[in-house]
Structure 1
Amino acid sequence: MMNYAIETHHLKKVYKDKIVVNDVNIHVKKGEIYGFVGPNGAGKSTLMKMLLNLVQANSGEIVIFGNKVIESDFEILKRIGSIIENPYFYEKLTARENLDLHCEYMGYHNKNHIKEVLEYVGLLKDADKKISQYSLGMKQRLAIARAILTKPELLILDEPINALDPEGIREMRELFRKLNTDYGITIFISSHILSEVEQIADTIGVIQSGKLMKEISMSDVHKFQTDYVEVEVDDIELAGYVLEHECGIRNFKIVSENRIEIYDLGKAVKEISALLVQNGVGINSIGRKQNSLEDYFFQITGTEVVENL
C-alpha cells in the first residue's frame, strides 16, 4: 500500500455551471515535493482550497495522511501549513507579534520556534519591524515562516514565489528543499512557471481546464529529455540514406521535408556533417539540441508553454 500524504478520488467542483475541478485524482507521496502545474485559471487554487477545507467539493473525496477529510474535521489541519493566495497579516504589528498570534490561534506553545523560523527565512533582523514597512518579498518570506511555524508534516503552497525577484526565488527554492530534506516535510506546491517547479519537484501533476492531464515523476520526465542532433538539409531522402549506410546511424527521425533529428550520439556533429557533405547532401544547419520539459508539456496538453498562457 503506497504511503500518500494526499489522495483525491474523483474530486469535482462546479461554480455557476462551470466545472472548475473535473474528476481529479491526485497522489502525493509522503516525503516528496509535488509540483502542481498549469496555466492560471486551470483550477489549482480551487483544488488547494478544497484540500484545506476552505471550499467544499461537489463530489469526490479527499484523503490526507490516510484520513478522509470531512467538513467538520479541522484536527487534520493542525498537521498542515499553507499559503493560499495573498497572505494576510496585521499591518500594525511586527513580524514577531504576527507569528506570536498565529501560535496562540493554532494552540501551539513552543514560542522559541518563532526566532528559529524567522532566522530560517532570513527575516530575523527585521523581526521587530511593523508589517506596513515590509516589501512584498518580505511578506512572502513571512508567510512561509508562518506556514512552517507549527512544524507541519505537510505544506500546501499556492504560487509561493509570485512576488519575488530571481534572487528571492532561488533562496525560496533552497528553503523548500531544506524543509523537505531536514524535516521530511511533504510539500505540495503549485505554479504556472514550469522552470521553477522543474528544479525542485520529485513529481509533477499537470492540470488544464480543471482536468488532471498527467502525473509523472521528474526522473521519468528526464528520461524523455534526450539530447539529439538536428540537421536541416536540401535532400532529405539522400540524407536519410547517407546517415544509415555511410554513417551507420539507424536511430534518427525525419521530422519535416528538410529536417532530421538524430538520436544516436555515437558520432560527433563534425563527423556527421562531413559525411553528409562528402556524399552530396547540402546542409543548411546542424547542431545539438535538447528536448525540454516544455516540449513534453506541449505533447501532453497540446498548448504552448504553460508559463506563457
Structure 2
Amino acid sequence: MQDYVLRTNQLSKTFRGHRALDNVNLSIRRGSIYGFIGQNGAGKSTLIRLVTGLAFPTAGSIELFGSSEEKALIQARKRIGSSIESPALFPHMTAGENLEANRILRGIPGQDCVPRMLKQVGLQGTGKKKAKHFSLGMKQRLGLAIALLGDPEFLILDEPTNGLDPMGVIEMRELLKTLNRELGITILISSHILSELHLMASHYGIIHRGRLLEQLTATELDGKCRQYVYIKANDSDKATAVIQHELDTADFEVMQDGAIKLYNYAEQPSKISSALFSAGLEIEKFMPMGEDLERYFTKRIGGDPHV
C-alpha cells in the first residue's frame, strides 16, 4: 500500500447552490511535490480550505496521514503548514516578531525555531526592517517561514509565486525543492502556471469547474507532451524500413493513413530528412510537432489547443 499524506473520497462543496467541488478523489503520496493545476475559480482554493479545516465539506471525506475521524483530523492538521492566498502579516513588526507572534498564537514551544526559520527562508539579515517595507518576494518568504513553524510534514501553498518577478519565482522554486529534497517535506502547490510547476512537481492533479479531471506523474505528463516529427511519404513501408535500419530506432508509430510519428531524433530533423531523401523517398509532409504543457492542459479542460 502506498503511503499517502492526503486522500479525499467523493469530496464535494456547495456554496449557495454552486458546486465548487464535485466528488473529488485526490491522493498525494508522502515525499512528493504535487502540482495542483486549474484556472482561477476551478476549485483549488476550496479544496485547500477544506483540507486545512478552514471550511467544511458538503459531502465526502478527507483522510490525513491515514486517518479520517474528526478528532484524528484535528491532530493531523497540526502536522500541516499552509500559506493560503496572501500571507497574513503584521505590517509594523519585523520578520522575527511576525514569527514569534505566530509561534505564540499557535502554541509552538521554544523560541529557537524563529531564527532557524528565518535562516531557512533567507530572511536572517532583515534585522529591524518592518514587514510593510518588504518586497513582495520577501513577504512570500516570510509567509513560507510562518507556514514552516512547527516543522510540518505536509506543506500546502496556494499560488506561492503569484506576483513575483522572474528572479523571485526562481528563488521560491529552488527553496521549495530544497525543503522537499533535504527535509522530506511533502508539498502541495496550487497554481494556474503549469510551466512553473513543471520545473519542480513530481505529481500533478488537474481540476476544472470543481471536478478532478486527471492525476498523473511527471513522467506520464512528459510522455503525453512528447515531441515528435510527423512524416508523410509516398511509400510508408519503405520509410519505415529506412527509419529502422538507417536511423536504427524503433521509437516511432505508424498511423492508419500511413503517416509516421517519429519520436527519436525529434531534435535532429535534418538527420531524418537526409536519410529519407537518400533512400529516394518523396516527402509529402515533414513537420516537427508535439505539445508543450500549457497546450496539453488547455486541451484537457476542453479549451482551444491553438490559443
Residue 238 of structure 1 aligns with which residue?
234
Q: Secondary structure at the match of 2:222?
A: helix
The one-character-per-residue Cα deviations of 1:97-120 (angstroms, maximum 9, x if unpaired) are 111011101111221121121122
Equivalents in 2 of 1:237, 1:99: separation in Å? 66
| Farther-moved stretch of structure 1 (211-220 vs 238-247) | 238-247
The answer to whether structure 1 residue 103 and structure 2 residue 99 are counterparts is: no
Letter matched to residue 261 of structure 1: K
Against the structure 1 CA distance between its residues 283 and 50, is the aligned structure 2 distance closer, same or farther, given a 3 Å change threshold? same
| Farther-moved stretch of structure 1 (243-252 vs 151-160) | 243-252
Residue 181 of structure 2 aligns with which residue?
181
Residue 215 of structure 2 aligns with which residue?
215
CA contact (8 A) 2:83 2:158 kept: yes
Residue 43 of structure 1 aligns with which residue?
43
CA contact (8 A) 1:83 1:143 kept: yes
Residue 170 of structure 1 aligns with which residue?
170
Residue 25 of structure 1 aligns with which residue?
25
CA contact (8 A) 1:252 1:264 kept: no
Against the structure 1 CA distance between its residues 2 and 264, is the aligned structure 2 distance closer, same or farther, given a 3 Å change threshold? closer
| Farther-moved stretch of structure 1 (112-121 vs 2-11) | 112-121
Against the structure 1 CA distance between its residues 59 and 177, is the aligned structure 2 distance closer, same or farther, given a 3 Å change threshold? same
Letter matched to residue 113 of structure 2: H
| Farther-moved stretch of structure 1 (165-174 vs 120-129) | 120-129
CA contact (8 A) 2:233 2:281 kept: no
Q: Secondary structure at the match of 1:39?
A: coil
Q: Give the deviation of 1:135 after TM superposition.
A: 1.9
Q: Give the deviation of 1:174 after TM superposition.
A: 1.3
Q: Secondary structure at the match of 1:226?
A: coil
Which blocks of at least 5 consecutive residues in structure 1 are unaligned?
A: none
Residue 197 of structure 2 aligns with which residue?
197
Q: Give the deviation of 1:138 after TM superposition.
A: 1.3
Equivalents in 2 of 1:6, 1:63: separation in Å? 6
Equivalents in 2 of 1:106, 1:268: separation in Å? 57
Against the structure 1 CA distance between its residues 245 and 260, is the aligned structure 2 distance closer, same or farther, given a 3 Å change threshold? closer
Q: Give the deviation of 1:292 after TM superposition.
A: 3.0
Equivalents in 2 of 1:143, 1:116: separation in Å? 15
Against the structure 1 CA distance between its residues 276 and 32, is the aligned structure 2 distance closer, same or farther, given a 3 Å change threshold? closer
Equivalents in 2 of 1:104, 1:121: separation in Å? 20
Q: Give the deviation of 1:262 after TM superposition.
A: 2.4
Against the structure 1 CA distance between its residues 102 and 78, is the aligned structure 2 distance closer, same or farther, given a 3 Å change threshold? same
CA contact (8 A) 1:35 1:203 kept: yes
Equivalents in 2 of 1:121, 1:216: separation in Å? 30
Equivalents in 2 of 1:103, 1:43: separation in Å? 30
Please provide the CA RMSD for this pair: 2.9
Against the structure 1 CA distance between its residues 4 and 256, is the aligned structure 2 distance closer, same or farther, given a 3 Å change threshold? same
Equivalents in 2 of 1:112, 1:71: separation in Å? 29
CA contact (8 A) 2:39 2:192 kept: yes
Letter matched to residue 282 of structure 2: V
Letter matched to residue 220 of structure 1: E
Q: Secondary structure at the match of 1:40?
A: coil
Runs of 4+ aligned residues of structure 1 deviating over 6 Å after TM superposition are none
Alignment of 1:253-268 (within 5 A): 253=254, 261-263=261-263, 265=265
Which blocks of at least 5 consecutive residues in structure 2 are unaligned?
A: none
| Farther-moved stretch of structure 1 (58-67 vs 271-280) | 271-280
Equivalents in 2 of 1:271, 1:138: separation in Å? 49
| Fraction of identical pairs, as percent | 35
Q: Give the deviation of 1:143 after TM superposition.
A: 0.1
CA contact (8 A) 1:53 1:71 kept: no
The one-character-per-residue Cα deviations of 1:234-285 (angstroms, maximum 9, x if unpaired) are xx5616355235555883456999x863235499633542455464635676
Q: Give the deviation of 1:186 after TM superposition.
A: 1.1
Against the structure 1 CA distance between its residues 69 and 98, is the aligned structure 2 distance closer, same or farther, given a 3 Å change threshold? farther
Q: Give the deviation of 1:290 after TM superposition.
A: 4.9
CA contact (8 A) 1:273 1:286 kept: no
Q: Secondary structure at the match of 1:77?
A: helix
Equivalents in 2 of 1:246, 1:290: separation in Å? 22
Equivalents in 1 of 2:214, 2:146: separation in Å? 32
The one-character-per-residue Cα deviations of 1:1-33 (angstroms, maximum 9, x if unpaired) are 322101111000011211110000111111211
Equivalents in 2 of 1:163, 1:142: separation in Å? 15
